[in-house]
Chain A
Amino acid sequence: MNKFLWLVRRELWEARVIWIAPVICAVIIVGGTLGASVFSHGVDIGGLNPEQLSKLNDVLRPDKLETVIAVGLGGMLVPLYLVLAFTQFFYAADALYGERRDRSILFFKSLPVSDTETVLSKLAIASLVMPGAIVAAGLVSQVGVALILSAKFASFGAVTSHLWTARVWGDVLVLDGYLLLAVIAWTLPVVGYLFLVSAWARRAPVGLAVLIPGAVILAEWIVLHTPHVWWTVVGRLFGLFTRAFEGGTRHGLGFTVDADQLQVPTDSVRTLLLRTEFLVSPEVLIGLAVGAALIAASIGVRRYRDATI
């Protein structure tokens, strides 16, 4: 195993929340769905309960039904993303501060591991391993929920074969993969910012990470009476799903239920996502450049500042 993988492994030893949080999420989602399917009638997917969904067999073309199922299962990643945002924030804010607080940085700096390797290993955790683990937990949850729904549908005498087609799971994987890329790209500047604060702060990096943009927003409002920074911050923190899927929804990704009329796109999820162009949008590309600059600055601060607080 090479040195970089050992550094990543070290992070997994220290911050067990990295893998515990996704496992708990998957258990809650699958367990909750199982409980609800056993004890109530109200299990739903995409706003439709099993009875409604089973009736769709009769009125929908199979490809449309499969898109509904895929998008419905894909929607399960939304709550998981919130868990990721929470754990990622605290991990990144502590990543380069915790080692100075407990002075263990002096142990790690006594070993032949460069600051670049160390910071990049922490970045790999925050921007690859954590989103990857959450999406993996999402996939496990999707399979688990689909199994439970299969059993539930079967109990209504509905045909369940549409849940298990290659197209449904191909679309689910594409959605999950797309969201993984979108999360990584979208959150990189936030992770970079938190790393820099974490490397710089003499105390309370979490508070400082919140206070700095707060102060900038306030200053802009007082001096210029404009809310640009506010909307930039809010958009970056809460706007991922809106931005990542707005191209798709404009082209008909997703479905709506209005007065018992189900509006379903005619194209596949894959075709629709290709039209989103989110991953090459200026917001994402500028964010990636800013994120890279902030990560480079974090490496510099870890390298050149006093090793302890």
Chain B
Amino acid sequence: MATLIAADNLTKNFGATRALDGASFKIESGRIVGLIGPNGAGKTTALKAVLGLARCEGSLKVLGLDPYLQRDQLTTRVSFIADVAVLPRWLKVSQALDFVEGVHPGFKRARCEQFLARTTIKMTSRVRELSKGMITQLHLALVMAIDAQLLVLDEPTLGLDILSRKQFYDTLLSDYMDAERTILVTTHQVEEIENILTDLLFIDRGRIVLDISMEQVAERFQQLVVAPDRAEAARALKPLNERQLLGRHVFLYEAADPAQLERLGEVRQPSIVDLFVAKMQRGAA
């Protein structure tokens, strides 16, 4: 697998605020990577750096290029959906296809029309006449018809209802993703992309606090649910995090001995949300 993105010690300041604080990570081709962090953690700044929209200190290569200095070359190989609201409202659907076909050498119009044929979007409609869900479908159809090696999605389903969000990711997986493509996505609706991700990057206060594949998550992290009388014994095993749920105690462990945990209670695989909360609380502590 080739390394698509190699970031080393990325740092970015906005006045007195440090948006990125030595963030380092690598993304290989063919992966679907979730960049997850709380508000203000540096997600969007990191994505902007990857897309060449923001200059950072440190070293960053995307597809072997310096994204900031070689942005013009990069944009033919990288696609980007910022959020649902960025398609110009005055644009007609047919004009969107004409324009992208005119300026992007990798755009396959027939493919885009094929995607749109499955929706209720009319070629003659203007973007302002479409619902949020339809605008996202249109943007996704445009992007999926581009032969790009890297697709960057920044909160792509923000403000959409559950059905539209599910449809977005289903389409992305079934019609777009293959071994040659790589997706880097940020979202707050972590639970919705949990099943499609291959890798996780947690970012907090400008630093990467967890860089792990989903297979490793299962091997490295365990969740233990115990009755109150076992709580003290569970605490002694130094959990990352503890919370109470319906009168029982839930602990999250990193690199613990599964056999030891099983003796105390029920062992489960933690969800990304649980892992995220544990990591963020630990970082804040």
Contacts and interface: CB of A to CB of B under 8 A. Distances in A.
Interface in B54-89: 54-55, 71-72, 75-76, 79-82, 85-89
Given A6-B102, A111-B103, A103 B85 contact: yes
A20 to B, nearest CB: 14
A85 B103 CA distance: 31
A contact face: mostly helix, strand, loop, or mixed? helix
Interface string A1-38: 10101110110011000000000000000000000000
A174 to B, nearest CB: 36
Contact of A102 (B55, B89, B95): B89
B91 interface: yes
A1 to B, nearest CB: 6
Contacts of B102: 1, 3, 5-6, 9
A106 B103 contact: no
Nearest to B75: A112
Interface residues of A, number: 25
Contacts of A5: 102
Contacts of B51: 109-110
B86 A104 contact: yes
Contacts of B89: 102, 104
A106 B104 contact: no
Contacts, number: 68
Interface in A145-163: none
Nearest to B76: A112
A111 B86 contact: no
A111 to B, nearest CB: 5
Given A3-B103, A6-B99, A7-B103, A114 B72 contact: yes
A109 B102 CA distance: 15
A206 interface: no
A309 to B, nearest CB: 13
A211 interface: no
Contacts of A114: 71-72
A112 B88 contact: no
A112 B105 contact: yes
Contact of B88 (A6, A14, A110, A306): A14
A14 B90 CA distance: 6
8 contacts: A5-B102, A99-B88, A103-B82, A105-B86, A107-B87, A110-B81, A112-B75, A114-B71
Interface of A: 1, 3, 5-7, 9-10, 13-14, 99, 102-107, 109-114, 304, 306-307
Given A6-B98, A14-B88, A304-B55, 11 more contacts: A6-B102, A9-B99, A10-B95, A13-B90, A102-B85, A106-B86, A107-B82, A110-B79, A110-B81, A111-B103, A112-B104
Interface of B: 48, 51, 53-55, 71-72, 75-76, 79-82, 85-92, 95, 98-100, 102-105, 139
Give the 5 A-B residue pairs with the shortest CB-CB distance, closest first. Answer: A6-B102, A110-B80, A104-B88, A106-B82, A112-B75
